[in-house]
Chain A
Amino acid sequence: MVDRIADPWGERTPYGPGQQWPVRVDRYLADGRSDADVDRWVQSASVLHSNGDALDIGVAEGRIVGVRGRAVDRINRGRVDPKDLYGWQANHSPDRLTRPLVRDGDRLVETDWDTAMGRIVARSKELLDGPGGWGHFGFYTSGQLFLEEYYTLGVIGKAGLGTPHMDGNTRLCTATAAAAMKASFGTDGQPGSYTDVDHCDAIALWGHNVAETQTVLWMRMLDRRRGPNPPAMLAVDPRATPVAREADLHLAVRNGTNVALMNGLLREIIRRGWYDHDYVEAHMLGFDELCRIVDGYPPSRVADICDVPAADVERAAELLGASQRLLSTVLQGFYQSNQATAAACGVNNLHLVRGMIGRPGAGIYQMNGQPTAQNTRETGADGDLPGLRNWDNQRHVEELARLWNVDVDTIPHWAPPTHAMQIFRYAEQGSIKLLWISATNPAVSLPELHRIRQILTRPELFVVVQDLFLTETAELADVVLPAATWGEKTGTFTSVDRTVHISDKAVDPPGEARPDLDIFLDYARRMDFRDRDGQPLIDWSGPEEVFEAWKECSRGRPCDYTGITYEKLRGGSGIQWPCTDEHPDGTERLYTDGHFHTDPDYCETYGHDLATGAEFTEAEYRAKEPKGRAFLHTVDYQPSPEVPDDQHPLLLTTGRTVYQFHTRTKTGRAPQLNQAAPDVWVELNPADAARFGIVEGDLVGVSSARGAIQARARLCGIRPGVVFLPFHYGYFDQDPTDRTPRAANELTITAWDPVSKQPLFKVAAVAVAKLADGRGVPSPAPTVGGSAPPADADVPPTVGGPAAEATSGKE
């Protein structure tokens, strides 16, 4: 038995370079059940993080009773993240939405589907009538639905209504990954494979606390670190995360300065001859300009800007430069920070100039934060054109028009898609009048929450929310649609390293809740969207039909799914796209021949100026004659839009704990997870805490120019001058009449990266003040992860106890 709350990563299974990662099957069955008590196992994969861990859902008497990892799968080899071990219990939560709700004055009242959908359709038809009607619709979706649902939503938006106002909450998590890969390689799509961990000799983690965000990937890294010939490890993070503690070198940079660091590291790599001259000559564009810019970042200047020792910058460059098989992973410390796209491109540059791409061990993971974010991007539910097509390429738009049999000008392609923050701005100004939010909770997750709540409660704005529970966002809706969730519907989704999994229906949804796909299809039917021949635009009835249609849409594009079927996905391991007739088993790595997706007829973008987001034209792009070469892009460092001052002397960064996902809609309803991290806390460096007279457990007020919250203090290893708040905690489990401000996003700034349009969650200026004495009671922060207190602190360890007993073994 193993308590996977006390030890989220479980027992080590060490292995050496080039060996296969050993199997370890993790299992949790509730109420003391064993395998003998399970009627059937239903194949699925994780939807509580982006790693794509394959697992089976155990069913007994028509209910989910537990999960176990799939030993056969390439991604996890049987392992399961603690969120997945325990999180499924939320499916059975008594407060699941089981009937549609409609607004009646200041109340939401239960109704039937006909009434709820009737209201949405009546308002939609009213808005669509007249020139510019498309512009009144906004869709804000998720990184947690299935591929089939996103594709359907994308077709409704682009070919049915014809609106560019569609985005996912993937804008908050993974937009920069997509933008950086488009900029460097020509299209979205991860070059690497998770098996690069098996082969690498160095791992660099750029703003990526993988130990808490993708625990199974971290287990793989730890197993290499405990085996023979372990990889060196570099961590860049302002917090003392488990990754930073494990790393050979930790650069606790000042938030918002990543571009200066990347420029400085590239300068050292180039100056000291650690780049691959022949590879650069043959496969790169922009090397001279790159050299010109990075030359301005000697270690001493990087040290000044980033506030790390110059010697450490040199040591980091040595670690990177000495590696022969370098693996990099990048996440929110870069994506949600200042100059996000430029910083993420900096990691691409490092790999490109060293030729560290497209071979075992030499890989890049521009990570996703969410389980199905990859599909939001591929299918166009983030506003992009499906199949990683280029909205500015007329021929790409014509392909879609032919596929959907609609007029080419129905499809919005006159400008880039409207990103999430701009959608909310149009709603604030009143030009978007219907906002349909599916499977996400912007009333807790977007920046500057008082503003978001104001927008969602505007009487002129008709808000539809489709979710499992009455979230903080659903409370403000005009119509609430009860959705089925993972385990209650069938569909596919794709991991960071392009591995496609199927998730089959295991049990029926509660009450009248319906799969999101059924809801979208019902809307399309009721709206009576037609193609050019007067036939129904969307005639699909179930997920497999949609998947087959999607395969045609993906044909010939980087994310080619044409060789995949539901049947092929069942039984074995997941399959990596592109998967075609020529590559029926999928494709492990991209760019193995140094030929990138930058051909003008194939690429997903004609490029941007990274400092402003200014777009280049097709003619300008063609003039560069990319011919399959990758782009080396960088810019000069610019300070964040908000930096500390006398009134707000500290920098706020927000993030996650291993025990919670997003706004706790599910994990907050799984007892073991919620008890491990039940309430918000604020992390302070002991030096800062002493300055403000704060000790462990004290109630602290944290305020910015936007708002103020309260949280109990955890003194820990965060860098001085920086405070951390987990962004998970909203208000759904507080008494509506007596809510204490605690959501981190009350404080965050409304600002975004000029290229990826990803909001900046890592660089708000805040003040802290002690509000009340903790009387020796420690904060509710877990002792596991980035919030771990110093070893000598008198804080009881986070444990799960008997209720969290799981099994783990070789089988």
Chain B
Amino acid sequence: MHLAHYLGLLHRAQVNLADAFRQVADAHAEEPDIEHLCQQQAKRCDAHAEQLHPFVARYSEDAPDEPDRLHSQLFTGTRTGGIGLLRDLQDLYLMAAECDITWTVVGQAAYGARDKELLAVVRRCEGETAIQLKWLRTRMKAAAPQALVVAD
């Protein structure tokens, strides 16, 4: 059963997203809403990773070897300024999107594995990831015209 690999993928994606949220919070501390909400969402990602952890452990016991190129690198550090903020939020958006689709995939697998506990975790967390995407989109939409058209 390969579910362990996807659980590992999701777990790492959540850990990476938490870390990226924290880096963006620090880099753009002069945007108080960004700082506060990125810190808040980082904690949410931590909680997701924590909830996944027992399932990663359980399913990895009888898992085959990890396939090649399972993980991908979506974040390589923060930028500065108005357009830099927009790009950083865009990175977070892509990382959250990776989590979002991975929740879907893991949820499908949980059905297949008849694992009600895992399904409950997916149901709890995938909605919160969807809100992260929505928030990032909302914030980027508001920032884009000023950053791309107005600012010098």
Q: A residues bordering B, Cβ < 8 Å?
A: 131-132, 134-136, 414-416, 418, 421-422, 425-426, 429-431, 609, 611-616, 638, 641, 749-752, 754
* Measured CA separation A754–B32 after assembly (Å): 11
* Measured CA separation A749–B32 after assembly (Å): 9
Q: Is the CB of B146 within 8 A of A754?
A: no
Q: Is the CB of A418 within 8 A of B142?
A: yes
Task: Name, among B31, B40, B134, B141, the residue most crowded by chain A CB atoms within 10 Å (CB to CB).
Answer: B134
Contact A609/B135 with A135-B145, A431-B82, A641-B36 known, Cβ cut-off 8 Å: yes
Q: Which chain B residue has the least Cβ–Cβ distance from A608?
A: B138
Task: List B100-152 residues whose CB lies under 8 Å from chain A.
Answer: 131-132, 134-135, 137-138, 141-142, 144-146, 149-152
Q: Is the CB of B149 within 8 A of A135?
A: yes
Task: Name, among B30, B82, B142, B152, the residue most crowded by chain A CB atoms within 10 Å (CB to CB).
Answer: B142
Q: Is the CB of A430 within 8 A of B142?
A: no
B141 interface neighbour in A415, A418, A425, Cβ under 8 Å: A415
Q: Which chain B residue has the least Cβ–Cβ distance from A412?
A: B145
Sorted nearest first, the 8 A-B pairs with minimum C-beta distance are A135-B150, A614-B134, A614-B135, A132-B149, A612-B135, A132-B150, A431-B151, A415-B142
B134 interface neighbour in A131, A134, A429, A615, Cβ under 8 Å: A615
Q: Is the CB of B151 within 8 A of A616?
A: no
* Measured CA separation A138–B41 after assembly (Å): 31
Question: Is B15's CB within 8 Å of the partner chain A?
Answer: no
Contacts of B32 in A (CB 8 A): 421, 641, 749-752
Task: Name, among A135, A614, A749, A754, the residue most crowded by chain B CB atoms within 10 Å (CB to CB).
Answer: A614
Count residues of B near A (Cβ-Cβ below 8 Å).
24
**Shortest distance between the CB of A7 and any CB in chain B (Å):** 43
Question: Is B33's CB within 8 Å of the partner chain A?
Answer: yes
Question: Is B37's CB within 8 Å of the partner chain A?
Answer: yes
Contact A431/B150 with A614-B134, A752-B33 known, Cβ cut-off 8 Å: yes
Task: List B16-50 residues whose CB lies under 8 Å from chain A.
Answer: 30-33, 36-37, 40-41
Contacts of A431 in B (CB 8 A): 82, 146, 150-152
Q: 16 A-B contacts, Cβ less than 8 Å apart? A: A132-B145, A132-B149, A132-B150, A135-B149, A430-B151, A431-B146, A611-B40, A611-B131, A612-B131, A612-B132, A614-B132, A614-B134, A614-B137, A615-B138, A641-B36, A750-B32
Contacts of A615 in B (CB 8 A): 134, 138
* Measured CA separation A415–B41 after assembly (Å): 22
Beyond A609-B135, A614-B135, 12 additional pairs, beta carbon < 8 A = A132-B145, A134-B150, A135-B145, A415-B145, A422-B142, A426-B146, A431-B146, A431-B152, A612-B40, A612-B41, A751-B33, A754-B33
**Shortest distance between the CB of B36 and any CB in chain A (Å):** 5
Contact A429/B151 with A609-B134, A616-B134 known, Cβ cut-off 8 Å: yes
Contacts of B30 in A (CB 8 A): 425
Q: Which chain B residue has the least Cβ–Cβ distance from A430?
A: B152
* Measured CA separation A613–B41 after assembly (Å): 13
Q: B residues bordering A, Cβ < 8 Å?
A: 30-33, 36-37, 40-41, 82, 131-132, 134-135, 137-138, 141-142, 144-146, 149-152
* Measured CA separation A109–B129 after assembly (Å): 57
* Measured CA separation A131–B152 after assembly (Å): 11
* Measured CA separation A425–B85 after assembly (Å): 13
* Measured CA separation A638–B42 after assembly (Å): 14
Contacts of A749 in B (CB 8 A): 32
**Shortest distance between the CB of B92 and any CB in chain A (Å):** 13
* Measured CA separation A75–B109 after assembly (Å): 63
* Measured CA separation A470–B66 after assembly (Å): 71
Contacts of B150 in A (CB 8 A): 132, 134-136, 431
Q: Which chain B residue has the least Cβ–Cβ distance from A615?
A: B138
Q: Is the CB of B149 within 8 A of A131?
A: yes
**Shortest distance between the CB of A623 and any CB in chain B (Å):** 14
Q: Is the CB of B138 within 8 A of A614?
A: yes
Task: Name, among B30, B32, B152, the residue most crowded by chain A CB atoms within 10 Å (CB to CB).
Answer: B32
Contact A612/B37 with A131-B149, A431-B82, A431-B150 known, Cβ cut-off 8 Å: yes
Contacts of B82 in A (CB 8 A): 429, 431
* Measured CA separation A614–B137 after assembly (Å): 8
Q: Is the CB of A425 within 8 A of B138?
A: no
**Shortest distance between the CB of B53 and any CB in chain A (Å):** 22
* Measured CA separation A425–B142 after assembly (Å): 13
* Measured CA separation A422–B82 after assembly (Å): 12
Q: Is the CB of B138 within 8 A of A613?
A: yes
Contacts of A135 in B (CB 8 A): 145-146, 149-151
B40 interface neighbour in A131, A134, A638, A752, Cβ under 8 Å: A638
Contacts of A422 in B (CB 8 A): 142
**Shortest distance between the CB of B140 and any CB in chain A (Å):** 9
Q: Which chain A residue has the least Cβ–Cβ distance from B39?
A: A641
Task: Name, among B30, B41, B82, B138, the residue most crowded by chain A CB atoms within 10 Å (CB to CB).
Answer: B138
Contacts of B41 in A (CB 8 A): 612
Q: Which chain A residue has the least Cβ–Cβ distance from B127?
A: A609
Q: Is the CB of A613 within 8 A of B135?
A: yes
Contact A425/B151 with A612-B37, A615-B134 known, Cβ cut-off 8 Å: no
* Measured CA separation A616–B134 after assembly (Å): 8
Q: Which chain A residue has the least Cβ–Cβ distance from B40?
A: A638
Q: Is the CB of B33 within 8 A of A414?
A: no
Q: Is the CB of B149 within 8 A of A416?
A: no
Contacts of A750 in B (CB 8 A): 32
Q: Which chain B residue has the least Cβ–Cβ distance from A134?
A: B150
Contacts of A414 in B (CB 8 A): 141, 145
**Shortest distance between the CB of A382 and any CB in chain B (Å):** 16
Q: Is the CB of A751 within 8 A of B36?
A: yes
Contacts of A638 in B (CB 8 A): 40
* Measured CA separation A641–B141 after assembly (Å): 24
Contact A614/B141 with A751-B36, A752-B32, A754-B33 known, Cβ cut-off 8 Å: no
